[in-house]
């Protein structure tokens, strides 16, 4: 219960969150552990697959498929066929079971895999909106497609990584790669400064500099392809210019997931549903205690003894942050 409450409190009080996932085998089968959190809370949940549908289901307090304005806006923005959207809009529903939602889609001739996925994502978005979720929340992640939701920002460390993997064939390639990497980190430093003191003039200068960098053509074709990739992701890489509170990298997610990775290396995976739930619950409580300045050991003793002297983690998360 406290794990669910801390997630609800964290999402309700945050203007931005970060997300990531890692492999987490269960009963000998591939699975994934998803992290959602920020500097105030950490929440983990393991599932058998990873997708945008999965992430939206995890964000919901209770499963809810709802066709409303938020759902229809999402479907249209993602390219759901207009006819499908019109049929769903003409028959709005609120459902709580996946089978019932699938039946509803089939009843209205929505059965292609892509259409089903987009409609399901939209209905889950609608359910989140109905539950009071802030659809304008910032979400920072690596370039994994399952996290491309809400106001999405990309991690600069992951964006630069393809540059570090390039192998120069000659001295000209080496110099070009080194120069581009240097320029990328110059832009990153400019964005860090902008976060501290947003300024319209700086915003225009950073945008122009980034566009000029991405338009650079070199004699190294793999480098040109990386630059084209940066250009395609411009909006998400420069998201901080619109939302200065967003982090520029996803290091916090990777750090918070490290305990899950260590457990995987030691025990390979979980064998029972209770074991998997236990791992995720204790990881969520431990990491959130640390972020709130609470001793996890003292917290456990307090809860096991039934004293409840230490406030709930949800209450601590909801308290105003001291400057």
Q: Under the phi-then-psi rule, with left for phi > 0, alpha for psi from -120 to 50, and beta for the rest, what region is 159?
A: alpha
DSSP-based three-state secondary structure for 142:
coil
Q: How far is it, in rounded angstroms, from Cα 123 to Cα 132? A: 14
Cβ neighbour number for residue 193 with a 10 Å cutoff? 13
Query: Where does 126-196 show beta strands of DSSP type E?
Result: 138-141, 151-154
Q: Which pLDDT score, from 0 to 100, does residue 322 have? A: 67
Say how far apart CA 83 and CA 6 lie, in whole Å.
40
- pLDDT at 224 (0 to 100): 97
Dist. CA 153–CA 194, nearest whole Å: 15
**Cα–Cα distance, 85 to 77 (Å, whole number):** 11
Q: How far apart (Å, rounded) are the C-alpha atoms in residues 157 and 174?
A: 20
Q: E strands of 6-95, at which residues?
A: 16-23, 25-26, 32-37, 42-47, 65-66, 94-95
Helix (H, G, I), strand (E, B) or coil at 143: coil
Residue 323 is predicted with a pLDDT of 61
Q: Give the Cα separation of 212 and 245 in Å (integer).
A: 25
Element (DSSP H or E) covering residue 176 = helix 171-196
Flag residues of the chain having pLDDT under 70. 322-323
Q: What is the pLDDT of residue 87?
A: 95
Backbone angles phi, psi at 183, to 5 degrees: -65, -40
């Amino acid at each position: 219960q406290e794990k669910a409450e801390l997630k609800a409190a964290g999402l309700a009080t945050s203007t931005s969150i970060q997300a990531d996932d890692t492999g987490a085998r269960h009963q000998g089968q591939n699975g994934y552990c998803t992290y959602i959190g920020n500097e105030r809370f950490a929440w983990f949940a393991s599932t058998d697959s990873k997708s945008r549908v999965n992430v939206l289901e995890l964000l919901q307090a209770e499963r809810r498929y709802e066709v409303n304005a938020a759902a229809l806006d999402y479907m249209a923005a993602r390219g759901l066929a207009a006819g499908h959207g019109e049929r769903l809009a003409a028959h709005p529903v609120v459902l709580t079971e996946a089978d019932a939602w699938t039946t509803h889609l089939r009843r209205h001739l929505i059965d292609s895999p892509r259409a089903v996925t987009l409609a399901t994502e939209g209905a889950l978005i609608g359910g989140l909106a109905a539950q009071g979720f802030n659809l304008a929340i910032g979400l920072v992640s690596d370039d994994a497609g399952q996290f491309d939701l809400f106001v999405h920002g990309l991690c600069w460390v992951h964006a630069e990584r393809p540059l570090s993997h390039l192998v120069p064939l000659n001295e000209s390639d080496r110099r070009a790669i080194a120069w581009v990497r240097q320029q990328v980190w110059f832009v990153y430093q400019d964005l860090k400064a902008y976060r501290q003191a947003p300024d319209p003039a700086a915003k225009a200068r950073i945008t122009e500099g980034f566009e000029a960098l991405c338009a650079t053509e070199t004699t190294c074709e793999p480098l040109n392809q990386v630059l084209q990739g940066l250009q395609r992701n411009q909006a998400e890489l420069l998201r901080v210019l619109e939302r200065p509170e967003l982090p520029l990298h996803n290091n916090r997610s990777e750090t918070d997931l490290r305990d899950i990775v260590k457990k995987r290396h030691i025990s390979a995976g979980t064998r029972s549903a209770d074991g998997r739930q236990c791992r995720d619950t204790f990881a969520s409580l431990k990491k959130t205690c640390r972020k709130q300045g609470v001793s996890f050991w003292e917290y456990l003793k307090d809860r096991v003894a039934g004293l409840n002297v230490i406030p709930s983690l949800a209450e601590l998360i909801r308290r105003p942050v001291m400057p």
